[in-house]
Amino acid sequence: MRGTIGQRGKIGDGEAKRADEKKRKERRSFTMLSCKCDLSVLLLMTVTLSTGSESAHPVVEVEYGGAAVLPCTERCSGVVSWTRFSKSSDILAECDQTSCRSVKEGYQMIHNQYLQGDFSLIITEADFSKREHYTADCDGKDKCDVQLQIEPVKKTFEKRPGESLQLNLHISDPVEVIYSSTDPAGPSSHQICTVNRRSVQLSREYSERASVSSALELRGVKESDSGVYTVRDTSTNEVICIYTVIVQGDSKAGGHEQKPSDPNSSPSPGWVVPMLVVVLGVVCVVSVGVIVVQWRKIKHLKESQNIDIPLTEMDKNRSPEEEKNLVQQNGEIQNLL
């Protein structure tokens, strides 16, 4: 009897352990499911916020020095004003029901557009100092937020060995200048300098022949200096300028070496040959006309002298004045002949 009771106790303890183990597994499954749900919700919120911020902050990119239009279409019956994100207290331009005014030079709004719900801001000349987020608000409430970006300045310089090269940095913000070689045998790329306001750090290779103010000046350029020079804003990682530099000797300098004709170049236009024929025909006609006129003049002079009469007979009846005219006419005939 006691053995039976002991066995039943052992069986009860085993069932209890199995029940506890089952509960622990259920708790772990629930915890994992809860974590997965929380992670899914977090990812969904992140995607939603990212999409919302992208749609709420359109980007306008224009060429350096070009005009930029920052779009904003909303409803507002009060005063609409534009400001820069970094200087929210400085109004650039504003409009109300009666008129618009430009508070800062280079920024303007159009009143007719304002009355139709178009609050776009026009920046007449965009440069790198105007890169920023701009905000339009109606009676103090934000309506639009637009980011302005400037396309990198791209230029090509052709230099001869020994000349100086100046590359404009265009901004006063911290920048670095990176050189990339176009020669496969040369180094791929390296930093020339960093500029942070008045602080300039030149690499050892360029310390003797380079200087920096608002531009990088490289003295005594060599053919090995040919390549691409990139000016990059180190605070935003934005490319400001891309300069392509070509350094060639006199024999290779642009335009001085006669290039062979390209066999693939297009032939001369079809009107060239007929035009040459017409010109040659006109020249021939003019030449024949001149010859005929000269021949007639010679004939007239000969007839006026009575050349068919023997000179001995004419000499008997000539006066001194006639002799003088005869000599003059003979001289003219000789000149014409």
Contacts of 231 (CB under 8 A, 6+ apart): 167, 169, 170, 175, 176, 177, 239, 240, 241, 242, 243
Which comes out higher in pLDDT, residue 51 or 139?
139
Same-domain pairing of 167 and 195: yes
Same-domain pairing of 143 and 215: no
Q: Is residue 102 part of a domain?
A: yes
Which comes out higher in pLDDT, residue 315 or 322?
322
Q: Which of 224, 247, 270 is the last residue of a domain?
A: 247
Between CA 111 and CA 99 the distance in angstroms is 6
Domain count along the chain: 2
Q: Is residue 324 part of a domain?
A: no
Same-domain pairing of 88 and 128: yes
* Cβ 188 vs Cβ 139: under 8 Å: no
Phi, psi angles (nearest 5°) of residue 311:
-65, -30
Contacts of 246 (CB under 8 A, 6+ apart): 156, 157, 158, 159, 226
Between CA 21 and CA 191 the distance in angstroms is 64
Between CA 123 and CA 117 the distance in angstroms is 19
Q: Which of 98, 115, 150 is the last residue of a domain?
A: 150
pLDDT score of 88:
85
Element (H, E) at 262: none
Contacts of 257 (CB under 8 A, 6+ apart): 251
Q: Do β-strands 238-247 and 153-159 pair in parallel, antiparallel, or remain unpaired?
A: parallel
Same-domain pairing of 139 and 167: no
List, for residues 180-203, the tens digit of each pLDDT value.
998 777 667 899 999 998 889 999
Same-domain pairing of 230 and 144: no
Between CA 226 and CA 207 the distance in angstroms is 18
pLDDT band at 290 (very low <50, low <70, confident <90, very high): confident
Q: Is residue 266 part of a domain?
A: no
Same-domain pairing of 112 and 136: yes
Q: For helices 320-336 and 272-304, what crossing angle results, to 10°? A: 160
Q: Is residue 33 part of a domain?
A: no
Q: 241 is in which domain, residue-wise?
A: 153-247
Same-domain pairing of 138 and 166: no
Same-domain pairing of 122 and 162: no
Same-domain pairing of 167 and 181: yes
Same-domain pairing of 141 and 196: no
Q: Is residue 68 part of a domain?
A: yes
Measured from the Cβ of residue 310, the count of other Cβ atoms closer than 10 Å reads: 8
Question: What mean pLDDT do residues 255-262 have?
Answer: 39
130 closest CA partner among 118, 147, 142, 143: 147
Q: State the CATH number of the domain containing residue 125.
A: 2.60.40.10
Phi, psi angles (nearest 5°) of residue 59:
-110, 130
Q: Is residue 189 part of a domain?
A: yes
pLDDT band at 120 (very low <50, low <70, confident <90, very high): very high
Q: Is residue 38 part of a domain?
A: no
Same-domain pairing of 131 and 217: no
Q: Is residue 311 part of a domain?
A: no
Q: Which residues in 83-94 are b (16+ Cβ under 10 Å) and which e?
A: bbeeeeeebbbb
pLDDT score of 309:
46
Q: Is the pTM of this model over 0.75?
A: no
Same-domain pairing of 159 and 241: yes
Mean pLDDT across the chain, nearest whole number?
77
Q: Which of 247, 280, 300 is the last residue of a domain?
A: 247
